[in-house]
Amino acid sequence: MKTSRSISIMVISIWGLFCSCTTVYQRQEAAQINKNDIYKMLYYASLAGSSHNSQPWKVEVTRDSLIRLYADTTRALTVVDPDRRELYISLGAFIENLNLTAGSLGYNSTVKLIDDKKNITLVAEIHLNRALSTHYNLELIKKRRTLRTPFDTTLISKKDINQLLAADSQQIHFYPARSKEGSLIAQKTVEAYTQQAYNLAAQNELAGWLRFSNKDVSEKKDGLTTAGMQIDGLSGFFVRHFLKPADSKKASFIDGGIDKTKKQALNCGGWVVITCSENTVADQIKLGRLYEHIHLNCTQLQIGFQPMNQIIEEQNFKNEVTKSLGIQEELLFIARVGYVANIPAPVSPRRPVEAFTIFEK
């Protein structure tokens, strides 16, 4: 009796010692994490691309420097993205930038994806540990941007294609613009864009994310601006000063968009298509990381990059193109790519870190 009691006391004391050691260790680890570095990680993460530049992220940083990433569902595109595929891809892109920045600043980040049906907005918990710097060039993250000008139609070199596919040769596919598949994607992109452009619900949703006036851009710091859409020169001046977002529903604006889309689709070196065997939230987040990774690689290789996702957003086109390309997996992301003489500096606004982050006191 006496022996078993002393064994229990011993076990409890060892457990207590273990727990307090773990807490002390966690605190020591947390103390090694510089708060300014976390701020930098969130800043670079927020430079990730997102559909309609909706920036659907919310973050909480605990006292122990745990980063909790939430989906800001008030920023979801319920018409063109009812299943939130694009929302989670955008969050994946955010995680990729955060991870690359952490590595560059000398941290190892462990990303735990949360698959909790009851708490659908908590997407990931990111834990940081001190590590050697990866020396990742953060300038690339600053330089990455969506380009909507026509690209060079020269073939992308084999070496560059291999670099783009290297991240996951299973999921990432490349179709040269002049191939049968490339021409089909170009043609169907224009048709799907046209179908969507004449859908009133999609028009209303898009209008809600258009930021024409300088006042709107500086107040909201999100959405699609004239600079971001590359409506330049006199046209840009006219749109900024004389049009309201609701004017985007007029036939002249819609037809202008269709013409621009034709020029874009016909002027590129090829198409990057990303597929997935399943379509879970975790898959979509992984895909978002791949998208950002490929786009950063393109930036380094002087290759312009523009996601063009209307084929996927318009279900009838998604089914048709999946069948025509003979893809066995689910089609989840499409972008046009092509060499460009230069990549101009990014212009799409971002909300500051404080606008989407709560730092626990």
Chain residues that interact with ligand FMN, rule: CB under 6 A = 49-53, 86, 89-90, 93, 145-146, 148, 224, 228, 306-310, 346, 348
CA 16/CA 93 separation, integer angstroms: 41
- Provide the minimum distance between the beta carbon of 165 and ligand FMN in the complex, in angstroms, as a whole number: 19
Number of H helices, E strands in the chain: 14, 11
CA 57/CA 302 separation, integer angstroms: 29
Closest CB to ligand FMN among 126 and 332? 332
Closest CB to ligand FMN among 61 and 224? 224
Q: Which residues contact 231 (CB under 8 A, 6 or more apart)?
A: 239
- Provide the minimum distance between the beta carbon of 58 and ligand FMN in the complex, in angstroms, as a whole number: 17
- Provide the minimum distance between the beta carbon of 11 and ligand FMN in the complex, in angstroms, as a whole number: 52
Q: Which residue is nearest to ligand FMN (CB)?
A: 49
- Provide the minimum distance between the beta carbon of 258 and ligand FMN in the complex, in angstroms, as a whole number: 13
Closest CB to ligand FMN among 53 and 109? 53
- Provide the minimum distance between the beta carbon of 115 and ligand FMN in the complex, in angstroms, as a whole number: 20
- Provide the minimum distance between the beta carbon of 31 and ligand FMN in the complex, in angstroms, as a whole number: 34
Cβ(138)–Cβ(101) below 8 Å? yes
CA 34/CA 164 separation, integer angstroms: 34
Closest CB to ligand FMN among 61 and 283? 283
What tokens appear for 167 in the block?
Answer: 């991240």
Closest CB to ligand FMN among 41 and 61? 41
- Provide the minimum distance between the beta carbon of 226 and ligand FMN in the complex, in angstroms, as a whole number: 12
Closest CB to ligand FMN among 236 and 307? 307
Please return the burial class of 30, using the count of CB atoms within 10 Å of its CB with bins 0-12, 13-18 and 19+: middle
- Distance (Å) of CA 188 to CA 199, 265, 319: 17, 9, 11
Residue located via tokens 């462990």:
110
| Pairing verdict, β 67-71 and 57-61 | antiparallel
- CA angle 114/318/333 to nearest 5° reads 45
Q: How far is CA 250 from the centre of its chain?
A: 30
- Provide the minimum distance between the beta carbon of 293 and ligand FMN in the complex, in angstroms, as a whole number: 13
Closest CB to ligand FMN among 160 and 222? 222
Q: List the one residue out of 198, 264, 188, 195 whose CA is nearest residue 230.
A: 264
Q: Which residues contact 111 (CB under 8 A, 6 or more apart)?
A: 95, 99, 124, 125, 126
- Provide the minimum distance between the beta carbon of 273 and ligand FMN in the complex, in angstroms, as a whole number: 13
Residue located via tokens 């990455």:
144
Residue type, 248: S
The three-class DSSP label of residue 129 is strand
Closest CB to ligand FMN among 51 and 275? 51
Closest CB to ligand FMN among 42 and 128? 42
